[in-house]
Amino acid sequence: MCKQVLPATKKYFYRVTTNPYDEWHNYCKVCISERHQMRKYGLTKAQREAMYASQDGRCAICGEHKSFSKISTDHNHVTGKVRGLLCTFCNTLVGYLEKRPGNVKQAEEYMGGWRDE
């Protein structure tokens, strides 16, 4: 159950499905996020907050500041090991590069040809 006592509205709670007749989920959005971080990455909220503080609330790649709820947990898809916190853009980029590491140099060469224009 949710750790907080919040009104059962879509601002705080998810429905199990999109069917309006379904019951509200037992956990609020904050608790669902915390449960997801623990199940997928083995991170408690305190551990994630410590990572966030150590990065000064910034993406580990581009340095853009993001709120705690909007920053993504980056992890190695093979080992599952958490690497750091990234903005959505950089996390997506790393995901693509991880799937096709050979394309990094090719993409850099391609973009280098367009720098002067």
Same structural domain, 67 and 115: yes
Query: Global pTM?
Result: 0.69
Q: Which domain holds residue 116?
A: 56-117
Is the domain of 31 the same as that of 62? no
The pLDDT tens digits along the chain (117 residues) read 455 655 555 555 555 556 665 555 556 667 777 877 888 888 888 999 999 999 999 999 999 999 988 899 999 888 889 999 999 999 999 988 888 888 888 888 888 877 665
Nearest to 51 by CA among 60, 38, 42: 60
| 117 part of a folded domain | yes
CATH number of the domain within which 101 lies: 3.40.1800.10
Q: Is the domain of 17 the same as that of 60?
A: no
Distance CA 65, CA 69 (A): 12
Overall number of domains in the chain: 2
